[in-house]
Amino acid sequence: MINRTGMGFMLNRSSHAMRLPSLSLGLVIVSLSCTWLSHALADDTSDCESANGVTPICGFKHPEDLEVMAGERLMIVSEYGSISGKIPGSLSSYHTEDGTIMRLFPDASATIHAPSSENSMWGDKNCPGPPTAAFSPHGIHHNIDLAPERLLVVNHGGRESIEIFEVTLDAGGNNVSLAWRGCVVAAPGTWLNDVVGSLNGGFVATNMMPRDFTLEQMMATEASKDDSGYALEWHHDSGWRKLPGTDGALTNGIEISPDGKVLFINYYLGSKIVAVERETGKHLWAIELEGPDNTSWAPDGKLLVATHQHTTLKDVLECAGADIPYCPIAYEIMAIDPNTGSYTLRYQGIGAPMAAATVGVQIGQTLYLGSFAGERIGRVELGQ
């Protein structure tokens, strides 16, 4: 959502226009009625038990984005704080076989390196140093095609940035560790959502909207579907550049083709997904799907996109500000042919014990679901 990264807004009203970066913890969307949320949860169970074909995996906090490690035993989980950066979050691992959850960062045992001025894959040589305790992750991407492997993380806490970690798996593939290696501070005025690595050591990130965007402007964008953001690329030698052909209404999740030539971009408020040539900006195809959030590659070569159904920005805001086990927004996981844009429904869900999926990742015939709100990941056995 607003990740292959959930929207996760934490807002409060003032007597003036609401400028999201200056939000205060504790005054969370106080002007929004919770009637919808209370009604939606009224008949749903909140305990951590299987229901409706979904097995909940509890013990997380806002597990907004998921990345599968080599060997498919481990996932890295982005436990989202808030888009304003006022609420910290963390990175954790989940073992798909034994169910172990481990905090990876921030953690007292986490390895911190000095920013590199020589290796371009670790970011900007002028990175001001490691993130503070305010670290608040959003969209993440695991580069398995680079050696050593790296994890890219959108961070809103303390600074708007892409944080870069070295990923290390033990010999058996049963434990993963992260070492912070560097960062890239966001381009001025941008508000990032998701990120994907490119084969040249750089990366592409989605800019949702200007950093000073107000809630009124967001509501207007929802109604008009006018452009509010775009994708931008960073490379060690050239810095940031806006990519042509990527403008849209609330630029959200992003994926990249294996050859690095095509970007697949989700526009959450535009209800649109576009395949764009990275260098030229040419649109190869575009499809309309309601509320597309994050994207992942499935084992069969399809793009899995989590979409939110029959919902509004107001619904999302209410979930983001509520202390609930899960958000009841209906969702679908769509499987898209990356060559043509044709799509089929892979899974849909609503209600207990897991909803409002922001991402779906598939391991074998098992689908794992993350969300921008609540305390749990969902596990679904496909084909049953």
Express each pLDDT in 320-361 by its tens digit.
878 899 999 999 999 999 999 999 999 999 889 999 999 999
pLDDT (0 to 100) of residue 133? 95
| pLDDT of 3 higher than 90 | no
The answer to whether position 381 is within a domain reads no
Judged by DSSP in three states, 314 sits in helix
Average pLDDT over residues 251-277: 97
The answer to whether position 313 is within a domain reads no
The answer to whether position 115 is within a domain reads yes
Q: Which residues pair with 191 in a beta bridge?
A: 209
| pLDDT of 268 higher than 80 | yes
C-alpha span between 256 and 260 (Å, rounded): 6
Banded model confidence at residue 13, pLDDT cuts 50, 70, 90? very low
C-alpha span between 277 and 105 (Å, rounded): 34
Banded model confidence at residue 88, pLDDT cuts 50, 70, 90? very high
Average pLDDT over residues 159-163: 98
Average pLDDT over residues 50-58: 95
Per cent of the chain over pLDDT 70 is 88
Q: Which residues, other chains included, contact 198 with Cβ-Cβ below 8 Å and sequence gap of 6+?
A: 204, 233, 235, 256, 260, 278
pLDDT (0 to 100) of residue 366? 98
| pLDDT of 20 higher than 80 | no
| pLDDT of 193 higher than 60 | yes
Q: Assign residue 277 the CATH number of its domain.
A: 2.120.10.30
pLDDT (0 to 100) of residue 117? 66
C-alpha span between 4 and 292 (Å, rounded): 9
Q: CB 47: neighbour CB atoms within 10 A?
A: 10
CA neighbor of 232 nearest in space, from 160, 182, 174: 160
The answer to whether position 304 is within a domain reads no
Q: How many domains does the chain have?
A: 1
Q: Which residues pair with 207 in a beta bridge?
A: 192, 230
| pLDDT of 210 higher than 60 | yes
Per cent of the chain over pLDDT 90 is 76
pLDDT (0 to 100) of residue 37? 52
pLDDT (0 to 100) of residue 172? 85
The answer to whether position 222 is within a domain reads yes
CA neighbor of 194 nearest in space, from 184, 186, 204: 204
| pLDDT of 44 higher than 70 | no
pLDDT (0 to 100) of residue 29? 34
Q: Is 364 exposed, middle or buried (0-12, 13-18, 19+ CB in 10 A)?
A: exposed
The answer to whether position 320 is within a domain reads no
What does the block give as tokens for 187?
A: 């381009």
The answer to whether position 234 is within a domain reads yes
Q: Is 251 exposed, middle or buried (0-12, 13-18, 19+ CB in 10 A)?
A: buried
pLDDT (0 to 100) of residue 26? 28
* Residues of the domain holding 28: 20-37+61-295
Rank 92-101, 111-120, 346-355 by mean pLDDT and report only the highest.
Answer: 92-101
Question: Mean pLDDT score of the chain, rounded to an integer?
Answer: 88
Banded model confidence at residue 54, pLDDT cuts 50, 70, 90? very high
The answer to whether position 331 is within a domain reads no
Phi, psi of 198 (to 5 degrees): -110, 165
Helices (H) and strands (E) in the chain, counts: 3, 25
Confidence (pTM): 0.89
